[in-house]
Amino acid sequence: MKYDLIIIGGGPAGLTAAMYASRYKLKTLLITKIPGGIATTAHKICNFPTYEDISGFDLMKKMEEHVKKLNAEMIYDEVIKISNKFKVKTAKGKTFEAKKMILAAGTERKKLNIPREMELLGRGISYCGTCDGPLFRNKNVAVAGGGNGAVTTALLLADYADTVYLIYRGDKFRADPVWLSQLKGKKKIKQIFREDIAKLEGEKFLEAIELKSGKKLKVDGLFIEVGAIPDQRLISQLKIKTDSKGYIIADKQQRTNINGIYAAGDITNNSLKQIITACGEGATAANSAYQDLNK
Amino acid sequence: MKYDLIIIGGGPAGLTAAMYASRYKLKTLLITKIPGGIATTAHKICNFPTYEDISGFDLMKKMEEHVKKLNAEMIYDEVIKISNKFKVKTAKGKTFEAKKMILAAGTERKKLNIPREMELLGRGISYCGTCDGPLFRNKNVAVAGGGNGAVTTALLLADYADTVYLIYRGDKFRADPVWLSQLKGKKKIKQIFREDIAKLEGEKFLEAIELKSGKKLKVDGLFIEVGAIPDQRLISQLKIKTDSKGYIIADKQQRTNINGIYAAGDITNNSLKQIITACGEGATAANSAYQDLNK
């Protein structure tokens, strides 16, 4: 049996795409590893319009319930094989076929891979300055990383926090000149090079970090900005164009270079990776699929 | 006193832009004629993620309250004059200046301009098939218009309604061939040319329409799709690029051809005009303004 549309990924982009596809009466299947995607791990979301303060878990649960009310078919499984014109095989051994496909599988944030990193997530550890920065007003925080993500996060945090330790294992930040010139004026930001974070301390919440050199820093927050990558296992099976960082290149209608494949949300080369932008892109992708199906 | 950012328009795009700009700590002023924009007039919204069924009024009120909690400055006024680098003058005689500007003033839907059109809005009269189509399952409806909007709305409604009268004053629809070819297969859609809608009937809800020729059609719904236009008074004061229909051309980052001016939502040449897409664009526009201010 052939679907009109298969959506891979059940975060904000995938769920909104399913919502719109259902309302366009497309025969739609959504396949997702975890319901809600990575957004469920955000401990506090204050910037999804109409919700001043909600957990990622609660917000994504509401979104998923909305999709279920629209009778979209949704399975919890992982796509392990994907081929053009468009067949997928899942980890649970099922195969499905569709006329169109939306890739909305998001990214995985790179981790520091140190003890207690996951345990303290949402208890001082964060992967999103835009989301959680305002929580650290007048506190001391650290940022791990040296690219655009780390430097812009440090700059943003300097608007709230008293001190921002920007900790990078390299000799020189890899960020754009525009951000580096900004750094100079910011006395709140203490730059630390050739260091790694070795240990996290604190009982229920993060209280301090210990560097490889043995130096200890008292901080309430640690923003890990060492990069994110879309799942290359699926992308590499398609001849789909990505940018130099591995993100799928999508146009304003969320079309990719492959006819019939659309991409939405964090997996794409969009300029802002937020829940609300992912939702908008999901809706647009579903609309483009609907338009193309009717051609 | 100079603002970092002035946002013109307080619908979904403008409000979300204000939300993000506030969180980026930009000194922001939002100027809007009516709080919530045209979205407040939707009687039933079922496709804004997490809300299965909410009135436009209630949804936009929540969104506005969210912005107010973030202490964004918002005034109810109308911008009547706008100049490059960037000064605005309002109907109430105030002037403001900003470093960057987001245009999010939406569009005005063209009306039929017949008696009771506004009175029956949300009581059978609708301007959005995607939003309200599912409400007319197994009912008879009419669509007024002959362009892409009217024809695609008729096609969508044919998935729900028993009969769809597609009423156009011209001899031949102006829609794209792809949509016209779709029309041929749809027996539910009755095409009526060289006719105008003259009268609306029904007590509390729309019950019938009378055509200019005197012919009466019993319908529960009438979708008015005779076009929409962005407010050209402001656009024409700037040397801002628009498409052939008058919509502002915005790139994926919501930048326009004028350095420092961004556009988001219905006023732009986006492919889908929905609340959720406008919100995403508003967030992206605010992010681009923030990035550019820091350059």
Q: Which of A229-243, B31-45, B81-95, B136-150 is least confident?
A: B31-45
Q: What is the mean pLDDT of residues A190-197?
A: 97
pTM comes to 0.82
Nearest CA in chain B to A132: B23
Structure confidence at residue A80 as a pLDDT band (50, 70, 90): very high
Residue B5 has pLDDT above 80, yes or no: yes
Q: What is the DSSP letter of A225?
A: -
Q: In what order do the strands lie in the sheet with B197-201?
A: B197-201, B208-211, B216-218
Q: Which among A20, A66, A280 has CB closest to B50?
A: A66
CA distance B35 to B42: 14
Alpha helix (H) ranges present in B120-248? 129-132, 148-157, 177-184, 232-235
The answer to whether the CB atoms of A294 and B182 lie below 8 A apart is: yes
CA distance A248 to A258: 11
Separation in Å, CA A232 to CA A75, A80, A107 = 22, 11, 10
CA distance B164 to B191: 8
Residues of B in contact with A15 (CB under 8 A): 49
Give the three-state DSSP class for A200.
strand
Q: Which pLDDT score is estimated for B24?
A: 86
CA distance B259 to A98: 43
One-letter amino acid identity for A183? Answer: L
Is A262 part of the contact surface with chain B (CB cutoff 8 Å)?
no
A259: CB partners within 8 A, 6+ apart: none
Residue A71 has pLDDT above 70, yes or no: yes
Alpha helix (H) ranges present in chain B? 12-23, 56-69, 129-132, 148-157, 177-184, 232-235, 275-293
A286: CB partners within 8 A, 6+ apart: A5, A16, A17, A18, A19, A20, A21, A24, A26, A102
Residues of A in contact with B295 (CB under 8 A): 178
Question: Chain A window 161-190: which residues touch B at a Cβ cutoff of 8 Å?
Answer: 178-179, 182
Kind of pairing, strands A208-211 and A197-201? antiparallel
Check if the beta carbon of residue A6 is closer than 8 Å to that of residue A72.
no
For A256-293, write each residue's pLDDT tens digit.
999 999 999 999 999 999 999 999 999 999 999 999 99
Residue B177 has pLDDT above 80, yes or no: no
Residue A43 has pLDDT above 70, yes or no: no
CA distance B104 to B278: 9
The answer to whether the CB atoms of A52 and B69 lie below 8 A apart is: yes
Residue B179 has pLDDT above 90, yes or no: no
Q: Which pLDDT score is estimated for B271?
A: 93
Is A277 part of the contact surface with chain B (CB cutoff 8 Å)?
yes
Enter the tokens of residue A194: 């050739």
- Beta-sheet strands, E only, within B106-238: 107-109, 125-126, 140-144, 163-167, 189-192, 197-201, 208-211, 216-218, 221-224, 228-230
Shortest Cα–Cα distance, A289 to chain B (Å): 12
Residue of B272, B281, B287, B294 to mutate for A, most A C-beta atoms under 10 A:
B272
Structure confidence at residue B62 as a pLDDT band (50, 70, 90): very high
Residues counted in chain B: 295
Separation in Å, CA B165 to CA A100, B114, B122, B136, B193 = 31, 18, 19, 13, 10
Shortest Cα–Cα distance, B259 to chain A (Å): 17
Residue A178 has pLDDT above 80, yes or no: no
Structure confidence at residue A248 as a pLDDT band (50, 70, 90): very high
Enter the tokens of residue B137: 């399952």
Average per-residue pLDDT for chain B:
94
Residues of B in contact with A134 (CB under 8 A): 23
Give the three-state DSSP class for B108.
strand
Shortest Cα–Cα distance, A178 to chain B (Å): 6
The answer to whether the CB atoms of B179 and A252 lie below 8 A apart is: no
CA distance B30 to B244: 28
Catalytic residues of A: 128, 131-132
Q: Region of A272 please: left (phi>0), alpha (psi -120 to 50) or beta.
A: beta
Residues of A in contact with B277 (CB under 8 A): 280, 283-284
Check if the beta carbon of residue A46 is closer than 8 Å to that of residue A141.
no
Q: Which pLDDT score is estimated for A85?
A: 86
The answer to whether the CB atoms of B178 and A294 lie below 8 A apart is: yes
Buried-exposed string B3-23: b where 16+ CB fall within 10 A, e elsewhere: bbbbbbbbbbbbbbbbbbbbb
Enter the tokens of residue A8: 């891979």
Is A75 part of the contact surface with chain B (CB cutoff 8 Å)?
no
For A120-164, write each residue's pLDDT tens digit.
999 999 988 888 899 999 999 999 999 988 998 999 999 999 999
CA distance A281 to A253: 8
Residue B292 has a CB neighbour count (10 Å cut-off) of 16
For B192-247, write each residue's pLDDT tens digit.
999 999 999 999 999 999 999 999 999 999 999 998 889 888 899 998 999 998 99
Catalytic residues of B: 128, 131-132
Is B278 part of the contact surface with chain A (CB cutoff 8 Å)?
yes
Q: Let me know if A187 is exposed, middle or buried by CB neighbors in 10 A (0-12, 13-18, 19+).
A: exposed
- Distance, C-alpha A158 to centroid of its chain: 23
Q: What is the mean pLDDT of residues A248-262?
A: 97
End-to-end CA distance of chain A: 21
Enter the tokens of residue A39: 């957004």
Q: Which pLDDT score is estimated for A267?
A: 97
For A194-206, write each residue's pLDDT tens digit.
999 999 999 999 9
Nearest CA in chain B to A250: B252
Residues of A in contact with B156 (CB under 8 A): 24
The DSSP-derived string for B54-90 is: B-HHHHHHHHHHHHHHTT-EEEE--EEEEETTTEEEE
Q: Which pLDDT score is estimated for B89?
A: 96
For A207-243, write each residue's pLDDT tens digit.
999 999 999 999 999 999 998 889 888 899 998 999 9
CA distance B79 to B95: 9
Check if the beta carbon of residue A227 is closer than 8 Å to that of residue A273.
no
Q: Which pLDDT score is estimated for B43?
A: 67
Residue B182 has pLDDT above 80, yes or no: yes
Question: Chain B window 188-247: which residues touch A at a Cβ cutoff of 8 Å?
Answer: none
Percentage of chain A with pLDDT > 70?
100
Residue of A19, A22, A47, A50 to mutate for B, most B C-beta atoms under 10 A:
A50
